[in-house]
Amino acid sequence: MSGNNSFQPPWYFRSGQVQTILASSHFRAWGKNPVRDAAREIIIETPEGVRLQGYHSSRGSAISRGLVILLHGWEGSVDSSYIACTGKALYHRGYDIFRLNFRDHGSSHHLNRGIFYAVLLEEVFQAVQQISRMEEEKPVFLVGFSLGGNFALRIARQMRHAPIDNIRHVVGISPVLDPQKATDIIDCQPFIRKYFLKKWLESLKIKQQLFPDVYDFSELFSLSTIQAVTDHMLDRFSDYKSASDYFKAYSIVNNAIEDLPVPTTIIAAADDPIIPVEDFYQLKLNHRTKLIIHTYGGHNGFIDG
């Protein structure tokens, strides 16, 4: 475990809020991207019949250093700027790229009647398992951002019982550790709250339009906080008795990821406006897990120019 101040952006990029905004800015993803150009859509179906959408960008006849699976954050997608930019950088460095959409993210709402919950680890684990088997002759690296970082770390934990042999390293960038804290913090920041709330409600509208016989979210559209929408969603459309129970089900605080069986790196920033840095210092980690905390970087940022 270590603090690390090697990331030193220019002074005008040092604000955690600025870094967080730039992480998802469409300006970053402008221009030609060989990952998008080479992408082939793949629909992965789990044994339970869940279908998840992904995009595989192979280097073709060029020598590949391995496959990197990228997991986006909540209400992000395979086209999020931080996914596109990371994929492009790694592709140029010799890696094949697989960008996976969670259920009901990107353009995948039509694939499943059921709605997305962050507790749906098994379907994402099975997708990562299948993707890794597709490239069984290559080393595989799993990288997740924000909620995707939370998924990546839980997948690493699940590998204690169901190893994925060719996964060589797992990386969680700005991973959500305590979902209740993150929700409270988002709801206290008007700009960030409006950003996530707008995206979530737009996503639910799409789901309702696709499955009008199953979903009526009309009561949600007047709610003004993430917590309020969460409470209503869980009450109407889940078996969870409370948001507290739901959040605890995918929380990874304290010793929750202490015994990861695969080399893992967690990257965070002290100025992350969503994930409290003290929660990272309270993690109990084994010798295979490295914690890097930069002074700057915001949430999913780490942009130096």
Task: Extract the tokens encoding 207.
Answer: 């789901």
pLDDT tens digit string along 12-31?
666 557 667 666 666 665 67
Single pTM value for the model:
0.94
pLDDT tens digit string along 158-168?
999 999 999 99
pLDDT tens digit string along 21-65?
666 666 665 678 999 999 999 999 999 999 999 999 998 877 899
The Cα–Cα gap between 121 and 126 comes to 9
**What is the arithmetic mean of pLDDT over 250-258?**
97
Buried b (16+ CB within 10 A) or exposed e, 12-30: ebebbebbbbbbbeeeebe
The Cα–Cα gap between 29 and 3 comes to 30
Q: Which domains does the chain have, with CATH numbers?
A: 2-177+252-294 (3.40.50.1820), 179-250 (no CATH)
Res 1: pLDDT: 44
Contact, 54 vs 131, CB < 8 A?
yes
pLDDT tens digit string along 216-244?
999 999 999 999 999 999 999 999 999 99
pLDDT tens digit string along 111-138?
999 999 999 999 999 999 999 999 878 9
DSSP structural state of residue 62:
S
